Structure 1
């Protein structure tokens, strides 16, 4: 899966297009400067393992072009479609890697940290499973319905409602 799709990233090189932050660790990973194994990459997004896993399966899905954080997203820039695409990718990766066949918030945890609670200022979707094997602190850090962690569905809903009120 990763080998054939790794070649796709070279078609859309963020560094060449000016949508690359040379100080950003995730930009470097996507641009293959860090030696990190990419589990998936296409023209829009890449996925790799988290270096400090909070669960046996903890992956990060990031846009290939540098996007700061959740607050910098807008519906008009096509971010809703990209979020939905990210969701489809993490679903496939989680099924393949962890043998999870049902996606519920009881079994899997996936979402974003809300600023200022972001450790890296490059939008990244956390994908964690199984929740039952997460420690107390991890469950707190990736807590649903908290001020610091929101699901992709919540973020999409926020973007859609934000555009409707403007």
Structure 2
């Protein structure tokens, strides 16, 4: 998982809506309020909603309001952004009274992203994932990287 290095700013290095065709990015459309998706929680930078193809009973996505292509664009200076994404995911899970000891959070790795827009998967109960979900959201999957691994790589970049 090579994290990008450098000191470019969020908008310059990660792709804006204009750079990435945001008019067609489904998550940019949700962030702009142009869909009927129910937003469960939001602030100026992030929003959270249910995954349309849940891997477990509680499967939420936390996305950035600004278009960012994927977790591979993250740098050390974006640790606080990812921390806020995790906090929002935890908040929605806690509001739904899930067992917080049975949670998995992470990102899909390109080219295995269904939507090329940074989004954190917050899933619970992780212990009930079927084989297909384990392949897609498992900690040993080639498709998925856990939040702790993302932080490890970000701190090293």
Alignment TM-score, normalising by the size of structure 2: 0.83
Matched, 1:27 2:5: no
2:100 to 94, 99, 102: 102
Matched, 1:59 2:60: yes
Unaligned runs of 5+ in 2: 1-14
Q: CA deviation at 1:133?
A: 2.6
Change (3 A) 1:136 1:145: closer
Q: Which has the higher contact order (CA 8 A, sep 6+)?
A: 2
Unaligned runs of 5+ in 1: 1-17
Measure the CA separation in 2 of the matches of 1:36 and 1:119. 17
Equivalent residue number for residue 81 of structure 1: 80
Q: CA deviation at 1:102?
A: 2.8
* Aligned length, in residue pairs: 139
Q: CA deviation at 1:101?
A: 4.4
Q: Which range is displaced more, 40-49 or 130-139?
A: 130-139
Equivalent residue number for residue 140 of structure 2: 145
Q: Which range is displaced more, 34-43 or 67-76?
A: 67-76
Q: Secondary structure at the match of 1:125?
A: strand
In the TM superposition, what whole-angstrom CA distance separates every residue of 1:26-79 from its partner, at most 9, and x where no partner exists?
Answer: 000111111101001101110000001111100000011000001111223xx2
Measure the CA separation in 1 of the matches of 2:100 and 2:37. 28
More helix by percentage: 1
Measure the CA separation in 2 of the matches of 1:150 and 1:51. 20
CA RMSD of aligned residues (A): 1.5
